[in-house]
Structure 1
Amino acid sequence: MQRDSVPYFSQWETADMTLPVLAEGSAALLRDPLWQRSGAETVEDYARWAVNVCGMACLKMVLAARGEIHPTLALARACTAYGGYVVNELDASIKGLIYAPFVTYVREHFGLAAETMTGVRTSAIPALLAERPFFIASVNSGIRWPDRVPPSKGGHLVLVTAASPETIRFHNPSGHDAASQADVTMPLSVFDRFFANRGIAVGF
């Protein structure tokens, strides 16, 4: 099952910031010329949040598929009010995305049908997409380099939009180039190396 023409959004306002962020950390985002599009009040606030909002970028893409465009940090702030993120003001750390509050948030705010799923076999994703058009999957962020073996699974979220018994297609909010960002297609066996067998199924 697949859904065509899903708009792509990076978790950075300037989509080619991934390699600088990998090299320098969030400080690189202080140079993002498009930061104000995020909905942040300051560039420092943007840099702090942008490294944590892969899930909000996935939500932004789902909403854009039905014609709605929302600033990424506006989504994050609203999700935080539900407990989807926990902000520690003492050390400026941000914990999340926390799935259960996120599901409540998107249901109440946007009328989306969302469900937290664990123990999901990679081979079961095509059947899952036959019931819900999107699956926000927990993967290792190294999926941008599919030829590598990741040290662990999970920790990053991508938006799966299509899958067959052989291949899977997804948008990666922190891909580092065109080939690793929108409509990335790879064999299910490769995806399985990065997939943590959990995520959030989402439908309209």
Structure 2
Amino acid sequence: MGNISVRHQVPYYSQWESAEFVPGLLAGHRKAEDDPFWQRSGADSVEEYAFWSWRICGMACLRMALDHWGLKSAGLVTLAREFLEAGAYVRREDGVDGLIYAPFARHAAKRWGIEAEVRTELTEDDLPGLLQDGALVILSVHPSIRDLSSTPPGRGGHLVLAVGCSPTHLQIHNPSGLPGVSQRFTDVPWSVLPRFFARRGVVLKGDRVG
């Protein structure tokens, strides 16, 4: 991947208010309804928080980027409601369709004045140059990327934020990563990334404040 090394000092947000809950949530030992800080999300009820918390990886990625650029954003469920209204999610009785990239990118650009470019053909080779140019990249990956030893059944289905790279690794913030293992500034070897990466995403670019 060339000789580019860059690391943007991006703050981390889990898609759950209590990031340390992730292992228990994934194992079924805990429920999102047990999160004592659920109200920080902007949800009107613990049930609303529990519904959205499994589905807002994209909102967590956006919030990380906005925070990095000194732009204000709301809680993750509040953001989800906003993007639902903008057409980036479609609510069904039993779930949600989304994140739908085109309306997401349009609304993010209009709302915060950032650049947001949908890329349906995004390769590993593209990422170092984008990161070096100051962009942060929301990537579609399989959620099992939290455990790099796993063999995913497919690619895509979850969103992470690319925040840096080196000649040997991509560095990501994973909203559903494991604490101390794969949440923040996680190194994903370039040789491993193709197992998980669906080669699509959204390139975000803003002005660094301060």
Give the structure with the larger helix fraction: 1
Number of aligned residues: 201
8 A contact 1:118–1:199 mirrored in 2: yes
Q: Report the alpha carbon displacement of residue 200 of structure 1 after superposing the two structures with TM.
A: 0.3
8 A contact 1:132–1:201 mirrored in 2: no
Deviates further, 14-23 or 140-149: 14-23
RMSD after superposition? 1.6
8 A contact 1:172–1:180 mirrored in 2: yes
Equivalent position of 2:44 in the other structure: 41
1:52-201 maps to which residues of 2 (within 5 A)?
52-67=55-70, 68-88=72-92, 91-201=93-203
**Unpaired segments of 5 or more residues in structure 2?**
none
What CA deviation, in whole Å up to 9, does each residue of 1:67-103 have, x standing for no partner? 2352111111111111001112xx2411110000000
Q: Aligned partners of 1:161 and 1:19: how far apart in 2? A: 23
8 A contact 2:7–2:165 mirrored in 1: no
Q: Aligned partners of 1:138 and 1:50: how far apart in 2? A: 18
Q: Aligned partners of 1:86 and 1:132: how far apart in 2? A: 31
Moved segments of 4+, more than 3 Å: none
Q: Report the alpha carbon displacement of residue 18 of structure 1 after superposing the two structures with TM.
A: 1.8
Q: Report the alpha carbon displacement of residue 167 of structure 1 after superposing the two structures with TM.
A: 1.2
Q: Aligned partners of 2:26 and 2:166: how far apart in 1? A: 32
Give SS of 2:31's match.
helix
More relative contact order, 1 or 2 (CA 8 Å, 6+ apart): 2
Q: Report the alpha carbon displacement of residue 20 of structure 1 after superposing the two structures with TM.
A: 2.4
Give SS of 1:170's match.
strand
Deviates further, 135-144 or 162-171: 162-171
Give, as a single letter, the amino acid of the residue that structure 1 aligns with 2:159.
Answer: L
Q: Aligned partners of 1:3 and 1:187: how far apart in 2? A: 15
8 A contact 1:2–1:133 mirrored in 2: no
Q: Report the alpha carbon displacement of residue 3 of structure 1 after superposing the two structures with TM.
A: 4.2
Give SS of 1:198's match.
strand
Q: Report the alpha carbon displacement of residue 45 of structure 1 after superposing the two structures with TM.
A: 0.2
**Unpaired segments of 5 or more residues in structure 1?**
none
Q: Report the alpha carbon displacement of residue 5 of structure 1 after superposing the two structures with TM.
A: 1.8
Q: Report the alpha carbon displacement of residue 132 of structure 1 after superposing the two structures with TM.
A: 4.6
8 A contact 1:3–1:133 mirrored in 2: no
Confirm or deny that 1:15 pairs with 2:26: no
Q: Aligned partners of 2:8 and 2:137: how far apart in 1? A: 14
Task: Give TM-score scaled by structure 2 length.
Answer: 0.90
